[in-house]
Amino acid sequence: MIKEELKEALNYVSASRENRSKMASKIEGNPKLIPILIEIIKYDTEPISCKAAWVLEYVAKKDLQLIYQHIDSFLSSLTHISLESSIRPASKICQLLALNEFPKKNRTSPQTLSVSQLNIITESAFDWLIGEHKVAPKAYSMTTLLLIGQKIKWIHPELGQILKQSYESGSAAYKARARMTLKVLEK
C-alpha cells in the first residue's frame, strides 16, 4: 500500500471503534505504513489527518513498540497538529509513552525516551493543557506531565501552578482531574 492508497483507505475510516480498530490491524500487519500515516497527520488542515491520528492511537494501544520505531517522526508531527480531533489522539499517545516510561509495574515496551524526546512531549503537553482545548487532551496532558515530572523536576511546580490558576474556570471534568493531579503533587 502506498501513500495514495492509504489516504483512500483512511477516507472510509469512521469514528466507530470497530472501524478504527480494523484499520489499525491493517497498519500493524504492514508497519512500513506508520511513517506514511504520521506524514498524513501533518496535513493538519485536511480532515483525513484526524482519521490518521485516530488509527495511530489504536496502533499505539495495541503495540507501543511500533510507535517507538518511528518516535522522532511522531514527535516532530506534534508541532503540526492543531485540529482538536487530531490533538486528542496525539495527547493520548503521549500519555501512553509516558506511562510506559514511568511504569508502576512492568514496561509494555523495552524502549525508553531520551531527555530531548521527553522535552518535546512536555512542551506539547503544556501547550495542550494551557490552550483552548477540550477536556480529554488536557486530562491526558496532566497525566503525561505528572509522570515526566518524576525525571524533569521543574515540571511539577509549573504544572501545579497552572492547575491552580485554571481550576475555577475549568469544567467539572477538568476540575476532577486537576484535583486528582494536585493531590498527587502535594504528596
CATH number, domain of 68, equals 1.25.10.10
Three cell numbers at 135? 477536556
Q: List, in sequence order, the alpha helices (H) in 63-171.
A: 64-68, 71-77, 84-101, 115-130, 135-148, 155-166
**C-alpha–C-alpha distance, residues 175 and 181, integer Å:** 10
pLDDT at position 133 is 95
Q: Residue 139: what residue type?
A: A
> Could you tell me the CA-to-CA distances from 42 to 10, 141, 163, 178 in Å, in that order?
14, 20, 29, 30
Looking at residue 108, its pLDDT comes to 64
In contact, 33 and 58? CB cutoff 8 Å: no
The span from the CA of 87 to the CA of 143, in Å, is 15
Distance of alpha carbon 122 from alpha carbon 119, whole angstroms: 5
- Name the strand (E) or helix (H) holding 62: helix 48-62
Given this model, what pLDDT does residue 103 score? 86
pLDDT attached to residue 6: 87
H/E stretch holding 25 = helix 17-29
Identify the CA nearest to 13 among candidates 128, 141, 73, 41.
41
Ordered per-residue pLDDT tens for the chain, 187 residues:
688 888 888 888 887 788 888 898 899 999 999 999 999 999 877 889 999 999 999 999 999 999 999 999 999 999 999 999 999 999 999 999 999 999 877 666 667 899 999 999 999 999 999 999 999 999 999 999 999 999 999 999 999 999 999 999 999 999 999 999 999 999 8
Give the number of domains in the chain: 1
Give residue 78's domain range.
3-186
